Chains A and B, each alone.
Chain A
Amino acid sequence: MLLRILVWAVLAFLISPLIVIVLFSFHSSPALSFPFAGFSLRWYAELFNNAQLGSAVMKSLTVAFLTSVVTLLIGTTASLAWLRLGKVGRGFIEAVSVTPIALPGLFVGVSLLVLFAQAGLQLSTLTIVISHVVIALPILIVAMKARLALFDPSLEEASRDLGASQFQTFRRVTLPLIAPTLISSAILAFAVSFDEFVVTSFVAGTETTLPMYIWSMMRRTVTPLINAISTLALLFSILILLGAWLISHVRRRSAVAARIES
């Protein structure tokens, strides 16, 4: 009982600041304090007339989309490799690809900045995407590792024994089995990229993504507009997570159902 209260208190600590932000995004007065003056949508209305914000959102969506596509492509080959490699090979993949999770964004950001400077690569959308993949790919690999532990390699062998080619086996057996994991991981990559700030601030050059725009607003003034942007960003991450969850569950359920039928 005591444990339960403690756990819910921790969750309340995590959630309540976010609720406060959502609440104040509907505040009719610019004051960020109680008592609450009344509800209004004026901050949202102001947002939709803000062209700079609009282009920052578009930039973030573009970057996040490209990041998730590249992460998905590389991640798929990593998953297939994972199924075929022994302990040493897997350990090697993990060593080079999981370490960035354990490092501050600052370290990853400045080291990519010096790489781009040395290579003479101009900072642009491309450098942002390259950098976001460095952060998203490790997350995909960690997520995939847990799921692939449940994969039964004998299914691939059976398919080969029955005369399917390598490609047919991949197309008809392996891919359908690992697809839900890959797609939900790609969605997470999208979410990570959409919110990434620290690394981006080093490699963006003159490009402005949504977090960069929010940052410039935060530094200039305390404006209730930030509450409205934050609420929309929060809603967006919840939708993304929900999407990832639905895909992995629905696909798994339909796979199980299909197996029971046959």
Chain B
Amino acid sequence: MNLSRTKIGAILAAPTVVYMVIFFVVPSLILFSYSFWSSESYRVVPDFVFTNYLDSLHSAVFWKVTINAVRIGLTTAAISLVLAVPVGYYLVYVSRSQTMLYLILITWFSSYLVRIYAWRTLLGTNGVLNAVLLQLGIVDHPVDAFLFSSFAVTITLVHIYLPFCILLVTSSLSEIKPDLIDAARDLGTSSLGAFFRVIAPNAANGLAGAFMLTFILVAGDYVTPQMLGGSSGQTTGLLIADQFRKTGNWPLGAAQAFVMFVISIALYFILVSLGRATGLIVKRRTINPKGI
């Protein structure tokens, strides 16, 4: 028996590919076909109708929570990226501090629910934030408005997804050679200048990717809005999740999930073309021999 290296590779790849096809690709396709099915008295009936999509698109509630999800998603992703870039820069170029990396990993791996719960404790009427503000005399009675608002949801989501964003930014920055920065510094640029003129353009694609990935995960998060968002801070995720509980309409939920998916993809293309138009994102160039 003398199989070629690639053939053995293909055989060895089979378990992974088969597993992921059965339990990821196929379910996604089933969910997609569900979105065209209909639901009669809580039973799913195979069909080919567009009512689920039309109902979603004509629903005021759907648009309200979707706009919420997009707004919270964009704000959270933007704040996360702004905070992640200095940390990533520090980790890649200033000090490869293992302690810092492990602190970030610990927060990433610390329980999702615990972090939501922590913020509920911190922001509550009798919470730590109010206690501190009262002590400092900044407010004279506890502020109720911290909890159950978009503010509470956003700060918690930043806390939950920032470690992930930092890891993405760190990996995209570490692809840029430090020599480039040294060269820019030698030619007299300030460190901030080197960042904006050397690192940012080279890392732009990676940073845009980090932004979008954070956005997608945040916009799809429904547990945080459910716990901290109050009645005005709900997002599409909760609407979708509720359809998949016992008495829900699965085909409608499936259609809503795919509308959300399409919106995310559309936002990605808008972001990239905005970046291209403003020159923030450039196709990676080779060095121009004639100078810039």
User: A residues bordering B, Cβ < 8 Å?
Assistant: 3-4, 6-7, 10-11, 13-15, 17-18, 20-21, 24, 31-35, 73-75, 77-78, 80-86, 89, 92-93, 96-97, 99-100, 102-115, 117-118, 130-131, 133-134, 137, 141, 166, 188, 191-192, 195, 197-198, 202, 211, 214-215, 218, 222, 226-227, 230, 233-234, 237-238, 240-241, 245
Contacts and interface: CB of A to CB of B under 8 A. Distances in A.
29 contacts: A3-B86, A6-B86, A13-B83, A14-B107, A14-B163, A18-B114, A18-B115, A31-B126, A33-B131, A34-B135, A77-B14, A77-B16, A80-B12, A81-B10, A85-B6, A96-B20, A106-B220, A110-B31, A112-B27, A114-B34, A115-B23, A131-B23, A133-B19, A134-B19, A137-B20, A214-B111, A222-B121, A234-B111, A240-B109
B204 interface: no
Interface residues of B, number: 81
Contacts, number: 239
Contacts of A166: 8
Given A7-B87, A237-B110, A112 B118 contact: no
Contact of A114 (B107, B111, B254): B254
Contact of B237 (A10, A84, A106): A106
Interface in B78-130: 83, 86-87, 89-90, 94, 100, 102-107, 109-122, 124, 126-128, 130
Given A78-B13, A134-B20, A21 B106 contact: no
A141 B16 contact: yes
B216 A104 contact: yes
Contacts of B151: none
B17 A96 contact: yes
B27 to A, nearest CB: 4
B5 A84 contact: yes
Contact of B221 (A4, A80, A81, A104): A104
What secondary structure prevails in chain B residues at the interface with A?
A: helix
A137 B21 CA distance: 13
A112 B23 contact: yes
B109 A13 contact: no
B12 A84 contact: yes
Given A3-B86, A14-B103, A104-B219, A195 B9 contact: no
B250 A114 contact: yes
Contacts of B54: none
Nearest to B250: A114
A7 B90 contact: yes
A103 B102 contact: no
Interface string B238-275: 00110010000010011001000100000000000000
Interface of B: 5-6, 8-17, 19-21, 23-28, 30-31, 34, 44, 83, 86-87, 89-90, 94, 100, 102-107, 109-122, 124, 126-128, 130-132, 135, 159, 162-163, 213, 216-217, 219-223, 227, 237, 240-241, 244, 250, 253-254, 257, 261
Contacts of A202: 241, 244
B37 to A, nearest CB: 10
A161 to B, nearest CB: 14
A71 to B, nearest CB: 10
Contacts of B105: 241
Contacts of B15: 73-74, 77-78
Nearest to A7: B90
B121 A81 contact: no
Given A114-B34, A195-B111, A211-B111, 4 more contacts: A78-B13, A89-B13, A106-B221, A198-B112
B244 A110 contact: yes
Contacts of A85: 6, 9-10, 13
A104 B163 CA distance: 16
Contacts of B121: 20-21, 24, 32, 222, 227
B114 A234 contact: yes
B118 A17 contact: yes
A198 B253 CA distance: 16
Contacts of B127: 32-33
Given A111-B27, A114-B34, A234 B110 contact: yes
Contact of A110 (B13, B26, B253): B253
B223 to A, nearest CB: 6
A261 to B, nearest CB: 27
Among B25, B30, B130, B135, max chain A CB count under 10 A is at B30
B12 A245 contact: no
Contacts of A105: 220
A29 B191 CA distance: 51
Nearest to A104: B220
A209 B162 CA distance: 26
Given A114-B31, A211-B113, A226-B117, A81 B227 contact: no
A113 B28 CA distance: 10
